[in-house]
Chains A and B, each alone.
Chain A
Amino acid sequence: MLPAVITMVAVLFLSGCSTSLRTGKPIHEEQVRAIAPGATTKDELFERFGPPAAIAARGEIPAIPTPSTSYEPVRGSSSYNIDANTFFELFPAARGSDDSDDYRRIYYYRHVVERRVTYFLLLGLYTSGGTATDRLWILMDEKTGTVEDYACKKSGEGVFFGIPRN
């Protein structure tokens, strides 16, 4: 009888519950791979993925809304700045180009999932959480209104590109 009671109590105390918060639309790999560099238009992009979190030209520092979270952001505001030059590093066509990059923009999409699991321990609670972010960068040729290239990184995985790298 006692072992059964102890087991029941242990299961009760060691069980947990989980919550999750999401920001942005999910980024599905098959949808991303359907993007055709040189052909997919801006309208088609908006139709599939909705509005981006940011649109930036080289040298700009756009403000990106902070993802929904249970915590006040470390940066102390509802948005944070990101250097768009970091995005342009992904694309050799736009990296170190002699031509002016005025006609190129990066459309940045992200899907953020914040997960928390709470464990009920014998003497209290312990919560462990993490943030998983899927990101998509679209290099847009604003002169033609078509996608020039793209890069996508799912959380925990490497980057894949629209134009394969050698």
Chain B
Amino acid sequence: MEGARRISSGTVPIVSLLAMAIAAGLCGCAVIGERHVLEEQFTLENAGRIRSGMTTKSEILDWFGPPSEISRAATPVTASPPGENPPESVETAPDTAIWRFAAARGTAHGAVQGHVLYGYRDSTLAWSEFCAYGQYGGGCIPTTPALEEKILWILVDESTGRVADHFIEKKKREENSLRITPWPQ
């Protein structure tokens, strides 16, 4: 046919996407997603520089600044024999981390007295909403905001001033009580 132009194969997906977008706009639908870094005291790259037995406490403070949590075990903390749970009094995050370090060092050498525990945080908040508006109104259905936390725990031997051990704890929880305003007020 004279004047007819061939549609290239690359144009079809683009046109399809455009058509979907226009259709979504006409039916008043949209997906809103948001991800926000709340606090970043460390990066995985920086944490990867830590070497047990070599990195000093001064280097830790230079790289990361002061920790958000600190704990010095006042009494010797030793790992429980296998099969036993830690005492119920262990509730705080630093206490849990100290127990984990003590357990990792074995029951024979589990004492962490003379050590100081530093904790650094990296937390991110993420959620999304599906919104639809039509002739008779509409609204948004939000997902529950999820808080992802990473805590870098560092155990420092105060007698040598060097890092004895370290690990990154990852936690994720839903923040049901969180209220979010979409735009700054």
Contact = CB atoms under 8 A, between A and B. Distances in A.
Interface of A: 2, 6, 9, 13, 19, 21, 70-72, 74, 76, 82-83, 85-87, 89-90, 116, 122-131, 133, 135, 137, 151, 153, 158-159, 165
Interface of B: 11, 14-15, 17-18, 20-21, 24, 29-40, 58, 61-63, 65-70, 118, 123, 125, 131, 147, 175, 177-185
Contacts of B123: 74
B126 to A, nearest CB: 10
Nearest to B18: A9
A8 to B, nearest CB: 11
B11 A86 contact: no
Given A122-B17, A131-B38, A70 B177 contact: no
Contact of A74 (B65, B178, B181): B178
A90 B61 contact: yes
A72 B69 contact: no
A125 B147 contact: no
Given A86-B70, A123-B31, A71 B21 contact: no
A122 B36 contact: no
Nearest to A82: B68
Given A71-B179, A89-B66, A126-B34, 14 more contacts: A6-B15, A9-B18, A19-B183, A70-B180, A70-B181, A72-B178, A74-B38, A86-B66, A89-B61, A122-B17, A125-B32, A131-B36, A131-B40, A159-B65
